Structure 1
Amino acid sequence: MSEEPISYDASRIQVLEGMEVVRKRPGMYIGSTGERGLHHMVFEVTGRAVSEVLAGRAGSVRITLTPDGGVCVADDGPGVRVGGAGGGGGPDLEALLTRIEPWVGPDVRHDVTAGFGMWLFVANALSRRLLVEVRREGVRRVQEYARGVAVTPLTEAGPADGSGTTLTFWPDAEIFGEVECSFQGLADRFRELAFLNRGLDISLTDRRRSDEPRSVRLRFPGGARDFVAHLDEQAGAAVHGEVIGFEREDPRMAGTLEVALRWRGSGAERVRGFANSRPTPGGGSHETGLRDGLVAAVNAYARGRRLLTEADPDLDEERIGKGLTAVVSVKLDDPRFEGCTRDRLGNGPVRACVGQAVQEHLGRWLTEHPAQAAAVVGRVVRGGRRD
C-alpha cells in the first residue's frame, strides 16, 4: 500500500502570540496542569507581593482561599502603577497583566522569582476570571479579566483605605485537571519563604469550608536557624543543642549568604539549598561550598586536637554529613540556574565564598565550644572507625 508523502512547509507552522501562547502550552510556564502547576501559579502571583515586602515597600502578604474556589493575594505596598503614572521603575498594571515580556527588576536578590516578572500575566492567562484592585495615591481602582482579556476598563471606585494591591483569580478548569489547592502544600512553601526571609510576615487562610476554617501566620525572626530547628522537630536528639548559624555579604559573588546547621545523634544528612528563596533540589555551587567548608573545618579541628592520628585519612563529607541538618541560602544579584528544570545553581564564585565562610565560622564555633565540639567531632571520628 502506498501512501501520499506528507509535506511540511511554512503553512504548517503555528505562530502563537500573547495569551494563546500560555493557554496552549501551560506546562512551559507552570510545569504541569495538575496540582503542582496549580500551586506554581499561586506562588507566581504571591511572588510579586512577597518581593514588595522584601524590597521594603510593603509590610505583609495575605493569601486567602475563597469559598467559591478563588485565590486572593493582597499586600499593603504602594499599589501597582496604573496607566504609567506615579513614577517609579517597572511595568504598570496593564503591562503586568497582558504582556508576556519578562521584566528584570533593579533588586533581583530580593526577588523570589529571580527577576522574571511574568507573575500576573501567567495567572491572568490561565484563570477563567481575575479581579484586581489597586489602592494607590488615595484612589481605589478595579478591573476584571476573563481568560486574560479585559472585560471592564480600569475604573475608579472611590477613595482608597490605605494602599496596596489585591488580586483574586479563579483557575480555569479548562486548563487544570484539579482547581482546588492544597492548604498544606501552600503552607509548606510559604513557611519556607518566611524562614528564608526573616522580615517577611505572610498569612494563609482557608475559607472554603465554613465548618472548618483554617489560618496560619508565618513569621520567623530567627531565619535559617529557625528553619533547621523546624526540620529537626521530628528527628532524633541533637548532639549539640545550639543551632550554628551566620550570615555574610560577599562582593565576590555579588550577594549574601546565610547558613544554619546542627548535628543529630542519628539519621541521614539533610541539606536544603536555596537561591534567591528558590529551592534547588539539584544542588549547585552553594551546596558544594557548604560541604567544602564543613570538611575543612572539622578536619582542621580533629587534627589540631589529635583526634586523628597521622596515619588516619581525612574525614570525608559522607562521614561528616551523617546526622547533619543544614540550610544554605544565597541571594544573588545575578543568579544562574542550570538544567532543564533550572533546579541547580551554577554561579561559580559562590562555591568558594560559601566554603570559606563556613570554614571560618564553624572553625571558630568549634574552638569556642570545646565540650560541644568534642561531642560533634568525636562522634564523626568514632563513626568511621572499626573496633
Structure 2
Amino acid sequence: MGEEASEYDASQITVLEGRHAIRKRPGMYVGSTGERGLRHMVFYVADRALNEVLLGSATRVDITFLADGGVRVADDGPGVPVEAAGHTGGPGLETLLTHPLTGPDTGGRHTLISGAFSLGPCVTNALSSRLTAEVRREGTRWVQEYARGAALAPPTATGPASGSGTTLTFRPDAGIFRTTEFVFGVFEERLRELAFLNRDLDVSLTDERVAGEPRSARFRFPDGVREFVAVLGAEAGAAVHPEVIAFERETPAATVDVALRWSASREERVRGFANSWPTSEGGTHTLGFRDGLAAAVNAYARERRLLTAADPDLSPERIGEGLTAVVSVKLDRPEFLGATRGRLGNPAALLCVAETVREHLGRWFEERPEQARAVVGRFL
C-alpha cells in the first residue's frame, strides 16, 4: 500500500449525533427499513403510553392507522410535562422526542418491553416526515410540530383542554422506508399478546385506511395468562384436565406468572416471556419451569407409589408431551443473551421459577386428586 493511500487523520472522521445519526443509519435503530422497521416505529411510541397504564397513571391506550398513512397513539394519562410551561415530574416533551433512552425505566419489572432496542419516541420522530405532539395537561392543550426530527416551533398553548393525556401522530418518511404500509394483523397479534401478559392493560387498535370499512379490536384480558393458555390450547385437542392450572408469585428476584394445561396431543407448546418480551430461544425462566414441573410430577408419582424405587424419574421431555404453557417473568433488570433478546440469562430466574412451579403444582395435585391422576397417569 502506498504512503498516500495510507494517510488517515481525525479530519476525515464525521461525527453524527441525535436525529442525524438515526436518519443516516436507520437500520441500527429500527432493525430494517421494511415492515419490521415500521413495527418498531409504532412501538417506540406505544411503549411509553402502555407503560403509563401499567404504572397506574393512565387507563387506556388507543392506536389508530389513519386514512392518510399516518399513525396516532393516544393515552388518557396526566400528559407529558411541557418544558415551556414549567411542568416537572419526568422527561419533558421536547426531551422525549429528541433524546434516546428517556421515559419510563424499561429496567423496572412493572414496565414492559415491546421494541428490540428501547430507545424511545425520539427514533420514531427522527424517521418521520412529520410528527405532531398534543399534550392535554392541567387544563391546557399544547401542540408542537416536528419535521424529520426537528422542531418547527416551540410547544404552543392552543386553548383549554378537555381531560388529560398525550397524543403523538406521525407519518413514516417515505424517503427512508421501502414500504410505509402497516400490516394490521401483525400489530393485532402483538397487542393481544401484551394484554394477555399484563392483565391491567386496556388497548384498542383501529384501522381507518379503507373508506367506509374501518375495523377495530380491543384487547383486555382480566384473567391474564390463564386466558392465554386457554386460547393457545384450543388447537391442541381434548384437554386431559378441564381446569387451566395458573399461579402467580412475587419474589425478590422476579414476578412469576405461569399457566399450563395438558392435552391429548403429543406436541409441546411452551412460550416464554421476560418483561413481556417473547424469548423465542427460551432461557433461564423456561429451564426453571421444566425443572419445577419435573420435580412436582415425580414427587407426586413416588408418593403415590406410581413409580417404584427402581424406576427412573420421568424426564422433562416425557412430561412435556401435550403440554401448553406460558411462562412469564418480570425482573428489575432483565439480562438478555444476543442482540435480538431471544434468550433470558438471569440465573435467579431459574431458581425462583423452579421453586414456584414445584410448590404450586404440587399443591394443585394434592387438592385435585382426580385431575392429578389423569395428568400423571398418562406419563406412566
User: By the TM > 0.5 criterion, same fold?
Assistant: yes
Name the counterpart of 1:353: 352
Segments of 5+ residues of structure 2 without an aligned counterpart are none
User: How far apart are the structure 2 equivalents of 1:104 and 1:217?
Assistant: 24
Name the counterpart of 1:18: 18
SS of the residue 1:177 aligns to: coil
Name the counterpart of 1:172: 173
Displacement after TM superposition at 1:263 (Å): 0.8
Displacement after TM superposition at 1:107 (Å): 7.7
Q: Is the alpha carbon distance of 1:380 and 1:12 closer, same or farther for their aligned partners in structure 2, counting shifts above 3 Å?
A: farther
Q: Is the alpha carbon distance of 1:93 and 1:159 closer, same or farther for their aligned partners in structure 2, counting shifts above 3 Å?
A: same
Name the counterpart of 2:80: 80
Displacement after TM superposition at 1:10 (Å): 2.8
Larger mean CA deviation between 201-210 and 372-381 belongs to: 372-381
Name the counterpart of 2:270: 271
Name the counterpart of 1:292: 291
Counterpart code for 2:337: E
Counterpart code for 1:234: E
Name the counterpart of 2:198: 197
Deviations 1:66-89 (A, max 9, x none): 00011100000000000073332x
Q: How does 1:330-369 map to 2 (within 5 A)?
A: 330-369=329-368
Provide TM-score, normalisation by structure 2.
0.94
Residue 283 (str. 1) matches residue 253 (str. 2): no
Q: Is the alpha carbon distance of 1:276 and 1:165 closer, same or farther for their aligned partners in structure 2, counting shifts above 3 Å?
A: same
Displacement after TM superposition at 1:102 (Å): 4.7
Identity across matched positions, percent? 63
User: How far apart are the structure 2 equivalents of 1:114 and 1:194?
Assistant: 12
Q: Is the alpha carbon distance of 1:355 and 1:42 closer, same or farther for their aligned partners in structure 2, counting shifts above 3 Å?
A: same
SS of the residue 1:168 aligns to: strand
Q: Is the alpha carbon distance of 1:269 and 1:8 closer, same or farther for their aligned partners in structure 2, counting shifts above 3 Å?
A: farther
Q: How does 1:141-180 map to 2 (within 5 A)?
A: 141-180=142-181
Instruction: Confirm or deny: 8 A CA contact 1:102 1:117 kept in the other structure.
Output: no
Name the counterpart of 2:37: 37
Segments of 5+ residues of structure 1 without an aligned counterpart are 382-387
User: How far apart are the structure 1 equivalents of 2:192 and 2:104?
Assistant: 25
Name the counterpart of 2:311: 312
User: How far apart are the structure 1 equivalents of 2:114 and 2:214?
Assistant: 33
Name the counterpart of 1:261: 260
Name the counterpart of 1:109: 109
Displacement after TM superposition at 1:309 (Å): 2.6
Name the counterpart of 1:322: 321
SS of the residue 2:36 aligns to: helix
Q: Is the alpha carbon distance of 1:51 and 1:101 closer, same or farther for their aligned partners in structure 2, counting shifts above 3 Å?
A: closer
SS of the residue 2:204 aligns to: strand
Displacement after TM superposition at 1:114 (Å): 8.4
Name the counterpart of 2:221: 220
User: How far apart are the structure 2 equivalents of 1:114 and 1:332?
Assistant: 15
Instruction: Confirm or deny: 8 A CA contact 1:258 1:328 kept in the other structure.
Output: yes
Q: Let me know the Cα RMSD of the aligned residues.
A: 2.0
User: How far apart are the structure 2 equivalents of 1:267 and 1:121?
Assistant: 47
User: How far apart are the structure 2 equivalents of 1:98 and 1:259?
Assistant: 38
Number of corresponding residues? 378
Larger mean CA deviation between 112-121 and 48-57 belongs to: 112-121
User: How far apart are the structure 2 equivalents of 1:186 and 1:74?
Assistant: 16
Displacement after TM superposition at 1:109 (Å): 1.5
Larger mean CA deviation between 106-115 and 318-327 belongs to: 106-115
Counterpart code for 1:171: P
Displacement after TM superposition at 1:117 (Å): 6.1
